[in-house]
Every structure is written in C-alpha cells, then in structure tokens.
Structure 1
Amino acid sequence: MTDTTCPSCGAVAAAGARFCESCGSPLDNAAPAAPVAADALDELSPISAPTRRKPTDALVDTGPRPCLVCQGTVGPDGYCETCGAKAPTERDHFRETPASWVAGVCDRGIVHSRNEDAMALLASEAPGERAVLVVLDGVSNSIDSDVASLAGAKAAREALRTPFPQGMGTPASRTGAITQVFGAAAAAANAAVVQVTDPASPNPASATFAVAVVERSLLAYANIGDSRVYWVPDGGPAVQLTVDDSAAQQQMEAGVPREVAENSPQAHAITKWLGRDAPDVTPRTGQLEITAPGWVVACSDGLWNYASEPDALAAQVTAAGTSEPLDLALALVAFANAQGGRDNITAAVARVSGQNASAPALDHQEESDG
C-alpha cells in the first residue's frame, strides 16, 4: 500500500490514513467511518471533532482562549497575540469550568504525539448541589481513540444530566437505581465509541471510563479500566474509591505490593474497556456519604502514575495550596508534566463542603460490579 495525496489540500498522507493530517479532509482511499449525526459533532465543540480537523473548522467554535505562556489571547491563527507563542491545539490542551466549584484540565503531556484523554463536566451553579465528572482515557495502541474518547465522554455526561432516581425510598433501592443509571451511562459511552469507529478497523478504538457524581453529600462513582476517582478530605486520610480493571490490580489482589505491581511491565494492561471489542461494559460502582469538606478528583493514569497512593495524591492537592478548582486541576497537570509527562493527563475536580444533606442518607460505602 502506497502513500496517497489529499484531494483537498494536496498534502501527502500515509498509506491507509482515513483523514488528512494537514486539513482533516477524509481521504478517498479510506474505508468510510460509521456515520455520525451533525448534531453529535456539534456536541463535541469546543474541541475539534474528529480530532484531526483544524481548530478553525466550521464545526468548531472555540472562542478566545488564554495563552499558556503569558495568559494573553490566542488568535485564530493559533498564536498568542501578546507574546507570539504558538498554542497547542484545543485537543492537545483544554479546560472546562462549568461552575465555580468544578473544573478540569485535559493535557497531551510531554511524550505522546496526541491527546487521547477526554473529559466532560457539568455542574449546578450552587456549590455542592450537583456535579458530574467524566474522564475517558483512549487506549493509545488503538486507532482513532482520541476521537472515540471524546465522543464517549460527552455521551456519558448527557446520560448523567438528570439527578439520580430515589428508588423505593430506601438506601438499598436507591443504590440499585444508581447502579442502573451508571450502567446506562457506560452503555451510552460505549455506543458513542463504537459509532465513531471505522467498522473495518483492524484495531478498533477503545477507552477507559471513570465517573464521579456529586449530589449534595452523596458521592457516587463508576469505572471501567484504570482511570480513577479519589476522595481527598481536608485534613483526613484520602481514599481511592475506584478499583482498577487491570493486570496490576490482579497482581495486588494476589498479594503483590502496589509499588511492584504498578511498575511491572504489564502494569497498565487493562482487563476491561469501552469499544467495539469490549467483552463487558458493566462498570464497577460505589457510593460514599461525604461528611467533611474536601476534593473529589477524577483522573487518568497520566496523573496517578506519579501519585498512585491516596496519600501521595493528597500531598499534591495540599502542595497546590489553593481552594480554586481550576488552579488545582492545572497544578495537578503541571505536577505530572514535571515528573516526565509520559502519558496524557486529565484531572477533573470538585470542591465540596460536606454540609449539604442528601436524601435518603447513606452512612456507609457500597460497591457493586453491576
């Protein structure tokens, strides 16, 4: 198979490429991708979709964004209007701040050539009332996982837009109802991943899945793969809430110390994922009643690679020295990049007070595999 020439801009594209790396146009020799509705593409704004499109594509309306060097304004040509620095693309580094108490940062890191992480957030204006943090980490050895992870994150967020049902009014029934909602969110994310995957792809797109939902004092969470949710209370011991679906986790369950398992050659081999070839997309789920102020942190392994133990992550939260969610998320990403940035990095955080009562109250943590 030989290289091809883009019919739109004339750039040379690698054999088998589905899109032109220069202009994002589909290539004639590529197998057609699964159809995606126009409104679904619009929903991926303000990040380019698919990610090989230029940020100036008509489907994308990014608006002004800050220069990462001097905080000036990045112009439409991708360069800072103040200092002239070239900005990363919207897909390589983006931020979301849906409310004053919730924020997230998704960053390419230093080593990888593209950002296959994704996140999607929503939050009420009232602090602590309701927030949804969704983090997907596209598997780097699968094709178009950058497009798929973004589509999956947005789909999961939409599936979780409405508050959890109350069930039959008992803690047990509400737990069952929440488990069902998380299952539906994972299924929606998986369907979105599959939808943007080329049906003829020999290595279909895949991604991990981690979600945290705050509803007053209730913190509910779900995961597939090895993206994580942590609870970091002020002045108390931090907790890793999710349990990885990974070879490292299997080793730890067999008695191998965490440090050894997480640094083994197969440490990041996941045993569950989203995607066309996923054997099971039922998430692990759990709930925690928040009784003290602190931080909810949902992240990809690009962050926890360098602070896996809950206390290690809590130390970085403390070192950030801020009560502003965006500043904390930026500090956590900067920490991971300072350690080498070997992977894409996502940190989504919510600041909660622990003083908002939820109904019915849950006085213990419950976990379910669905």
Structure 2
Amino acid sequence: MDAAMTSKTQTACPSCGGPISDADRFCEACGAELTPTAPSTPAIDTDTEPTVELDPGTTAPTPPAGPCRSCGGVIGPEGYCENCGTKAAKPRDHFTEQPATWVAGTCDRGIRHSRNEDAMAIAADAEPGSRALLVVCDGVSSSLDSDVASLAAARAAREVLVAGRAQGLGTESSRIGAVAARLKAAADAASDAVLENTSPDSPNPASCTFVATVLEDGLLVAGVVGDSRAYWFPDDAEPMALTVDDSWAAELIATGVPRHEAETGPQAHAITRWLGKDAPDHTPRTTSVKVTGHGWLLVCSDGLWNYCSEAAPLADLVRQTAAAHNGEPLATSSALVDWANAQGGQDNITVALARL
C-alpha cells in the first residue's frame, strides 16, 4: 500500500503536486519515488532489510544463480547481476500457498515497488466448500519494516482462526457472533504481531491493513481493518463486496461522491484505520452471508482492486480468468496477479481464492 495513514502530515509531491505524507516513499497519484525530507526518518536500505522466512508449505522462487531477469547475465554470489547490477529476486518478492485443491493464493511485489509489503496466510480443509480461512495484510509503505510486520500479522491471525471453531448456541445469529468474535481475536493477534515487529523508538512504526474471511459449513463471515477487501461471486446470483474500506475514498462514496471519482482522487488510498502502534482502533468490522451455491470467494489487496474495484466487473474478470485456467484456483490467482502487473503493477498484489 502506497498511501500513508490519514494521521500523517500532508505535503506535496515534487513531480505532480499531489498530496503526500511526510514519510511516503512513493506518490499515490503518479507513482514517483520520493526522497525523504525529514532527517529523523531514515531511508529504508533494501539491501539490508530483515530476512523474512516463508512457511515450509509455501512455494517461492529460490534466488537464482542466473540468468538475470533484466539482461540475461549471471547472478553473482552476492545476489546481484555481474553484468548490469540488478538484484536477484528474493523469496519474499513472489510466493504462493495452496493448502487444498480448492483454495490458493499468490502474493507478488508488483512492478514499481522495491519490496513486497503484502502478505497472506491461508488454510483449508481438504473437502471442497467445507472450511477455508483466508487472511491478507497489506503493509503501509510509509512505515518501517511493514513487510516483516504484515507477514507476521497474517500468520498470527491464521493461527487463531485455525485453532478455533466455536459454533455459538445453535442459532444462526449466535453462530455468526461466535465467528465474528474469532475474527476479532485474530485481529488482536495480528495487531500484537505488528507491535512485536516494531522498534520501540521507531519514528514510523510498522503498520498494515487486515482482512480475513471464515467459511464454515455454508456460513461466510468477513472482517476488515483498512482497505484490503473480500468479495463473494456466486455463479447464479449478484456478486457482492463483503467489506467496506476504512479509507478517505469510502467516506467520500458514503456522502454521494461517485466511486470512480473517489477512488482516483489524490487521497484515494489514505486509510482511516490500520494495525500498528499508532492505530486508533483495530476491531474489524464484520459482515456475513449464507452460502447456498457455487461461486468464488476472493480476498485481495488494493494492488488488484485498484484496477477493477466494483464487484460486478471484478467478478467477470475472475470468472473469465478461471475459465481460461480450467477453474484451478492457484493458476487463476497467479493469472490475476499477472493481469494486475499488466495494468501497471504500481502496488504489491495479493490474490487469495476459494472455489466453492
């Protein structure tokens, strides 16, 4: 996520004049890389950023010995091309997860960013349509170590969701309440993980968004903090967005500003809630839906929905992409990431899918 939280001081981008935070590394309006102006905010050295270990079951490319993706040259022992100096891809730049045949996700650095601050952690039972847990966290680019914090947050939330399976008191409303309570506990664990990966004296504490979905026995519940999203695309009914962003754009839409205008404005991705040391509140807003037929569950970061925001056209994109890849979730999620990169790839991209 490029945009800063709304509590940061706003200045102007030297390239396009759009509003930026005093700690932003990229301009949301034009994508220009920004030079820090405040000496108290150290620049992030991407050559020495913390090592982020992926799960044993996660598929990620190993740093290649060659050839270089930029020029075809040989990658040296230090991880740089000996011909052009391009740094080799890191496992954190692009990874996938597929806990079951019907559930999978792809997380990618994108084109414009120097590191991947998105993260995901997913789990599922083997039986299609039975139980799936999808978590996506999007690190805020203006904060330090957000790539480490977002991955720790996603995994911590998944652990809580996997461990619990409360059914309430037997009624539908109590069951929804029980799942919503688990989502709150997952967000609490994610917030704690962010704090554990934040230096106590950091001038820009790590922060990230949070979205998670719980699918169990026909009940789908989603919880959100920030502007990562969840959608439900039934095959035989209207597609729907399960979440509402905590963002300046969402507030404008609520007042009647057209969606396209609000989501392309200079502060479109300024979020109003997040996980982190300086977060005002991290209790997820939840929504639920009874799933009675076939369809696609999508959980994603703004790296995807930036290019296709509304539920109906995004549902068409997912369905067409899935049809071109035999309905296979992993191939479909990877192809959707490729599509977002083809649109410009200005942000990190995460796509997690479950096929019911």
* Equivalence for 2:151: 150
Q: Deviations over 1:151-175 (max 9, x none)?
A: 1000000010134311111122222
Identity %: 54
Q: TM-score, normalised by structure 2?
A: 0.78
Q: Which amino acid aligns with 1:46?
A: L
SS across alignment from 1:285: strand
Q: Which residue, out of 344, 347, 351, partners 1:347?
A: 351
Aligned to 1:249: 250
Whole-Å Cα distance in 2 between the matches of residues 340 and 85 of structure 1? 27
The whole-number CA distance in structure 2 between the counterparts of 1:242 and 1:63 is 27
Which residue of 2 is the match for residue 361 of structure 1?
Answer: none
State the AA in 2 paired with 1:331: A
Change (3 A) 1:142 1:19: closer
Residues 236 and 62 of structure 1: CA distance in aligned 2, closer, same or farther (over 3 Å):
closer
**Residue 312 of structure 1, CA deviation:** 1.4
8 Å contact kept, 2:94–2:107: yes
Does structure 1 retain, via aligned residues, the 8 Å contact 2:219–2:288?
yes
Change in Cα spacing, 1:170 to 1:330, as seen in structure 2 (3 Å) is same
Equivalent residue of 1:279, what SS? Answer: coil
Any residues of structure 2 matched to 1:236-275 within 5 Å, and which?
Answer: 236-275=237-276
Partner Cα distance (2:59, 2:299) in 1 = 27
Task: Give, as a single letter, the amino acid of the residue that structure 2 aligns with 1:313.
Answer: L
Q: Which residue of the partner structure matches residue 329 of structure 1?
A: 333
User: How many Å apart are 1:24 and its aligned residue?
Assistant: 5.7
Letter in 2 for 1:340: G
Pairs within 5 Å for 1:67-216: 77=65, 88-216=89-217
Conserved? CA contact 1:45–1:62, under 8 Å: no
The Cα RMSD (Å) is 2.6
Deviation at 1:20, TM superposition (A): 7.0
What secondary structure sits across from 2:91 in the alignment? Answer: coil
Q: Secondary structure at the match of 1:178?
A: helix
For residues 134 and 63 of structure 1, the distance between their equivalents in structure 2, rounded to whole angstroms, comes to: 15
Does structure 2 conserve the Cα–Cα contact (< 8 Å) formed by 1:105 and 1:330? yes
Letter in 2 for 1:140: S
- Structure 2: state its 5+ residue gaps: 1-38, 76-87
TM-score (norm 1): 0.75
Equivalent residue for 2:54? 46
Change (3 A) 1:75 1:224: closer
Task: Note if contact 1:64-1:75 (Cα within 8 Å) is conserved in structure 2.
Answer: no
Structure 1 residue 46: Cα displacement: 2.3
Name the SS for the 2:243 alignment partner.
coil
Residues 315 and 114 of structure 1: is their aligned pair in 2 closer, same or farther, counting only changes over 3 Å? same
Residues 78 and 89, structure 1, Cα contact 8 Å, conserved in 2: no
Q: Which secondary structure does the structure 2 equivalent of 1:198 belong to?
A: coil
After superposition, the Cα gap between the structure-2 partners of 1:124 and 1:256, relative to the gap in structure 1 and judged at 3 Å, is: same
Instruction: Name the CA distance, whole Å, in 1 between partners of 2:121 and 2:99.
Output: 10
Change (3 A) 1:156 1:300: same
